[in-house]
Structure 1
């Protein structure tokens, strides 16, 4: 029974470390050598699995074909033997090339590969276990805390790994933060040689894939490659470490090519205090779209770039402290802890989950209460049906915020239909379902941002809604959520307040005697309404874009710019409303807008949440 729980009758699974299109990565215990290993489990298709089975049969019974390909007919009974199969090999089997390539590259900065085996329809790549985190996670959690020493440690380690690979005639072809691991001792290791290309007498071939944002034009265009391909990827990764963003990310290959050719790059020396301005030229030299204009190899690039970074030995200690294994004295540990933002301390893990669900419960509870109060079939406050449905919606908000948000929005739509606001009710159903499908169901923060007009608008603080969306969501999700939140604000304003500042829940929770559609139509006929909509969407986009850098300074600037844009929208609306005479907006809207900006800037000072990934990978 024990063997049935083992992988390959040897490795006892401990935990799943990751998953992707290739399969999964399991952390396991090697019962034979008594050590931890990482096992990449790659699912094979039917033809690959059959080929692997043929190889296994040959290994047991031998090859019935001669070296010249002719059949051995010394025994006439051999022809009918079902085991008499042609000679086959495991060439190009997923994982095998990676195993063979990595086996050639024995170096402390390269994740070691121990073995490769195929069992049934699964290929198993047994690798060195690295107890730590990826560079992706490090940049997300501590990107604004990395010193030039830490960057020196990361850069020099990756560059050394690439130099070793290139010396062995191997190109990596997929250098990116996900493929850089940092253990608890601060040691940096490069992994995943799955796309690696070996050199032969004719030179290197073409790549079979890559990751947008970290592959140069020649790799995307399937041209013959050389070491300058990995050089460009390392330069892109280095630029991201210094500036906090990757300007070459794009949704597809054509746009990725345009992003590289037309990129408007920031000067890293302006983004990172203490970095010499000469480093900009070195980095841009390695990032040149034309590989003939780059350094001849990674070694030359590393030699030039390293001059502007700090001490790599100190950097490895700093990385160890950030990853979780302190190597300094206790007082130094406390100093590092103080550098971690308050938002990072309370905004992750269980505490973040609790806060998100409390927020969702409040928003869903208030909206469902108002909605059910205006649905006669719910029976009113004295009915157990009313309170049962309210409790059900709140419970959904606690367990699944996106589901609770959808249910409460649909209940609002039903309430509008009961009050004969048929056009608005049907429109809300369409908008709510579309927003939920494309944005809301993808995260817990999206629903909370969409319901911000319900909570904050209930006391006249509606302008915070687009800033909430921009603070927590990606650019595209923030724009869509801000637009939906604005539509919800218009509906709520139609309950009686007729104000974009909020809907006053205490005074206007009962809209049964009002013509909601008429009130909304009056608002929609005002130029101010459309100016505010444009301001909300633009503000959400600006804040989300600048929050992507994951630094408090950038996010604070984004919040200030977003607030300025919303104020400008109010001024423009006032100008249209006054017959192009006065730019002075209504104080009822101006004051909460300024207040929302102040709150957003203060929130950014505590830290920035991890941004959702906006672009994926491309693989052939």
Structure 2
């Protein structure tokens, strides 16, 4: 869910500064397109220039109400991203359509309809002082009824009173020389880009496509090759001469308005109305998903959609419960507490963690240090301080940025299973964070196991640490947990139910493979027999998270720094 309201159905494409996803509006029961634009965060603050760029696109798009321009519904922000909620166009963009039709070309009628529609949208934008500056096939949407809409005003600028504006980045292959070189741009910049799109739709190739802006600029100065009349002899005359004028490297030599370009080409190409019917038929054959009128789940809302607060409550509970369990174990060693006082302290710690999940690990660490300090000899203090420093390092680098960090780190300790770190960390954190957290959780759980075996006897603990460090099985277990967590997180981050379930299943296979490989090297007849209970706990936790994924859908989105 995005913004507690929009359910992600698919991530479609890259926009100018962000990704565009198809979402289901659970309140109004309709599909929408949401463009997510990451905001650079510096010391907890969003630079105003970045936020202004995102807000500028929203304002520019919302002021353009036209049947051939994608409608903007809303604009929202959070700490990491801004979200532009737009009309969902049920169909294909021109780039996708050209990739599907034979030769990558449109018929003359179809091209006439596209040019007429985009030209009308651009003419309206120019009349309102808006330059698009990123006309390309991927930004031209075609719906199932053949309607053409211009999208993505991410590069758009409001022209000055003189009609000029400073150049902004566009797309190589469709930018004219003045935009590539960073000079002043005006309506003739969009004229050039639209002419390139027309040329591509008629010939099957972009004449100025290149790996670098410099290379594209060289092609522009040489002129498009081969000539339009050579590719399509029927286009010799008005169509070719009009497009060549629009593609002139010098803005002064081009026509000054989109209407002049469209008027000179469309009449000579064919019937735009027949082109619309033909495009509608092509889109209907595309086999794309159902139209916007139908709910993706038959109109039934999931519990997370019906009760938006439920997801946040589960996230807070996942952080609070293992924190309370650690406090329950450690506080009695540090203080003389009766049952009621202990329950009150654990409840207070759980409440604090539920209110602010990132407090979970610091509270558990402080409680553990107090327990060690109350019963340890001076010889144990260096080891205790080292563990505290490691916990602090993890919290600064990973835990303070992850809502589910406390769950991922403490759940394996509470469950007594280092392998439980795989579904706990791999299913809730990004790959790098999952890897680091899994290693930290494994060390924490094994350290707790040594304390349970030797108590706080310094010699015993040191002997246990040395023995564990020299045991190949320990290293095989650590490597397996780290690799499995990373693999799990990579697949979960893809953001589909199938990939999430595959991630949990494959991570279990990776764990078993490491254990089996170590057993083969050591010639052990019954590999992993001693670790079966721990492995079983990990499998059960993975199954629970699989069931949650099926009921809820993948947590968060694949691009965010945290997943819920």
TM-score by length of 1: 0.50
Give the structure 2 partner of residue 585 of structure 1: 527
Per-residue deviation at 1:190?
4.6
Q: Distance in 1 between matches of 2:424 and 2:205?
A: 35
Aligned pairs for 1:50-449 (under 5 A) are 105-108=64-67, 110=69, 129-130=73-74, 152-153=90-91, 155=93, 170-171=131-132, 173=134, 190=151, 193=154, 195-196=156-157, 206-207=167-168, 223=180, 306=283, 309-310=286-287, 315-318=291-294, 321=295, 335-337=298-300, 344=304, 349-375=308-334, 378-381=335-338, 384=341, 389-418=345-374, 419-420=376-377, 421-449=380-408
8 A contact 2:357–2:403 mirrored in 1: yes
1:542 maps to 2:487: yes
Change (3 A) 1:425 1:615: closer
Q: Give the Cα–Cα distance (whole angstroms) in 2 for the partners of residues 405 and 526 of structure 1.
A: 29
Aligned-pair distance for 1:526? 1.4
- Contact (CA 8 Å) 2:134, 2:156: kept in 1 or not? yes
Which residue of structure 1 aligns with residue 410 of structure 2? 451
Out of 464, 478, 496, which is 2:434 matched to?
478
Distance change in 2, residues 1:436/1:283 (3 Å)? farther
- Tell me which residue corresponds to 1:259: none
Pair 132,426 (structure 1): closer, same or farther in 2 beyond 3 Å: closer
- TM-superposed CA distance for 1:469, in Å, is 1.2
- For the aligned residue pairs, the C-alpha RMSD in angstroms reads 5.8
Q: CA deviation at 1:230?
A: 9.8
Aligned partner of residue 495 in structure 1, secondary structure: helix
SS at match of 1:392: helix
Q: For the structure 1 residues 164 and 589, does the alpha-carbon distance in structure 2 shift closer, same or farther, using more than 3 Å as the test?
A: farther
Q: Cα gap change, 1:412/1:133 in structure 2, threshold over 3 Å: closer, same or farther?
A: closer
Instruction: Quote how far apart the aligned CAs of 1:574 are.
Output: 2.7
- Counterpart of 1:610? 556
Residue 430 of structure 2 corresponds to residue 467 of structure 1: no
Deviation string 1:31-67 (CA, Å, 9 cap, x unpaired) is xxxxxxxxxxxxxxxxxxxxxxxxxxxxxxxxxxxxx
Any idea what the Cα deviations from partners look like across 1:149-199, whole Å, max 9, x if unmatched? x88447479998977666768445599x9xx9xxxxxx9995654654979
Q: Deviations over 1:266-323 (max 9, x none)?
A: xxxxxxxxxxxxxxxx999999967979xx99x99x97995763478x52323xx46x
Structure 1: 5+ residue runs without aligned partners? 1-14, 22-92, 113-127, 140-149, 181-186, 235-281, 323-333, 499-510
Q: Secondary structure at the match of 1:404?
A: helix
How far apart are residue 552 of structure 1 and its match?
1.2
Q: TM-score, normalising length from structure 2? A: 0.54
Where does residue 185 of structure 2 map in the other structure? none
- For the residues of structure 1 that align with 2:208 and 2:538, how far apart are their CA atoms? 43
- In the TM superposition, residue 425 of structure 1 has moved relative to its aligned partner by 1.3
CA contact (8 A) 1:552 1:608 kept: yes
Runs of 5+ consecutive residues of structure 2 not aligned to the other structure: 6-16, 18-51, 98-113, 142-147, 183-188, 198-203, 220-242, 248-271
CA distance in 1, matches of 2:554, 2:93: 25
Pick the aligned partner of 2:501 from 556, 567, 589. Answer: 556
1:596 counterpart (523, 526, 538)? 538
C-alpha spacing 1:404/1:585, structure 2 compared with 1 (3 Å): same
Residue 367 of structure 1 deviates from its aligned partner by: 0.7
